[in-house]
Amino acid sequence: MPSTEGPHGTGKRARRPDLRAARAALPESVRKLIDDYERHLSLERGLSAHTVRAYLGDVVSLMGFVDGNGGRFEDLDIGTLRGWLARQREEGASRTTLARRAAGARTFTAWAHRGGALASDPGGRLVAPRAHRKLPGVLRAEQASDVMRFSAAGAEQRDPVALRDSAIVELLYATGVRVSELCGLDVGDVDFSRRVVLVLGKGGKERVVPFGVPAEAALRVWLDEGRGKLAVESEGPGKAALFLGARGGRLDPRAARRVVHDAVGSVPGANDMGPHGLRHSAATHLLEGGADLRSVQELLGHATLATTQLYTHVTVDRLKAIHDRAHPRAR
C-alpha cells in the first residue's frame, strides 16, 4: 500500500488506489494466478485478512506495472522488479514501504516458481533498501500505572462501557497481545484459575499468555457487572465475545484503539499511542524487569527472536540516559 509521505517527507497522504479496480483491469490469466495466490495466503498459510490484502496490493501493483509496460508475467525478470521499485521510489515511497513491497514481491515470485508459473525465481535476486525499523514511543512504568489508575477511576460509576474500557487497557498492558487478538477473544478463552488467556495469533497459532491480579480484577468486574448489560441484544456473532461494542456485537479493533488513545491521553506528558504502543510498553517493561528475550518472544507471539530483540535498543537507550544523568563520571 502506498506511503503516507510525499516525495520530500511532507507527511501528505497519498491517494490509495482501488485494489479491486486495478485487479479487474489485469489480463484474465494474471487475475486467475492472483486468485490462486490469494487462496494460498488465506487457506494454506492462514494469514489475516489485513495481511492478505497487503500482499495482494503489492502483487497487483507489480502486475499493473508489467502490463502497463507491455510485458508478460511469464517474462518477469529482475530488471522488471527493479524498475517497479524504482517507479515507486520516484513517486515518493519510503524506504520502509519499498522494503516491504520487495519482500512481498519475493514471496510471490517464489510461490509462482514453485507452482511452475515462472521458469525461474527473479525475486531471489531482488534487493531493496533496508527499512528503518523504528519502535513507537513507550510509556514509562509510572505512566502506565497512571493510565490504569485513571481508567479504573472512570469505571467507578459502574457504567458498562467504562468497565469494559478499564478491562481492555488492563488486559492489553498485562499481556502485550495485539489488538486483533484482543478483539478475537471469547469469554471461554479466559482461565481465571490459572490467570491465563488463550490467544489465537498470526498464522492461526495459539499461545497461552498470563495476566496479573489487576487485570483479573478488571475482567471479573466487567464480566459480572458490565458485559451482560451490553449483551442483552447480542444473539449473533458477538454472543461469545469477551469484549462487546456499545451495540452488543463483538468489539471492533477501531473502537479498541479509540479506548487506548483516550486512556493514554488522560495522562499528562504521555506519548499518544494506541494498542500497539501498549504492547511495546509491556515488552519494554518486561525486559527492564529482568525477563529474558525468549520468554518475551513467546508472550508476544513473535515468529523470530530478531523481532523481539528490537526492544533491547529501547532498554539500552534508557539505561544510557540514566547513566548519563546519574553517574559522576558519565561526562
Closest among 96, 110, 241, 98 to 167, alpha carbons compared: 241
Closest among 51, 61, 78 to 18, alpha carbons compared: 61
The catalytic site residues sit at 178, 202, 276, 279, 302, 311
Report the CATH number of the 141-272 domain.
1.10.443.10
Give CA–CA dist 187/189, Å, rounded: 5
Q: Do domains 19-125 and 141-272 have the same CATH topology?
A: no
CB contact at 8 A, 275 and 260: yes
Give me the chain's average pLDDT, please. Answer: 84
Return the pLDDT at 129: 65
Return the pLDDT at 6: 38
Give CA–CA dist 78/71, Å, rounded: 13
Is residue 262 very low, low, confident or very high in pLDDT (cuts 50, 70, 90)?
very high
Domain ranges of the chain: 19-125, 141-272
H helix count then E strand count, the chain: 14, 3
Sequence length of the chain is: 331
Q: What is the pLDDT of residues 268-306, one digit of tens each?
A: 888 889 999 999 899 889 888 888 888 888 888 887 777
Class of 19-125 in CATH:
mainly alpha
Q: What is the pLDDT of residues 68-119, one digit of tens each?
A: 888 888 889 999 999 999 998 888 888 888 888 888 999 999 999 999 999 9
Return the pLDDT at 238: 60
Q: What is the pLDDT of residues 174-231, one digit of tens each?
A: 999 999 999 999 999 999 999 999 999 887 889 999 999 999 999 999 999 999 988 8
Q: C-alpha 193: how far from its chain's center?
A: 29
Query: Which residues, other chains included, contact 321 with Cβ-Cβ below 8 Å and sequence gap of 6+?
Result: none
Return the pLDDT at 12: 40
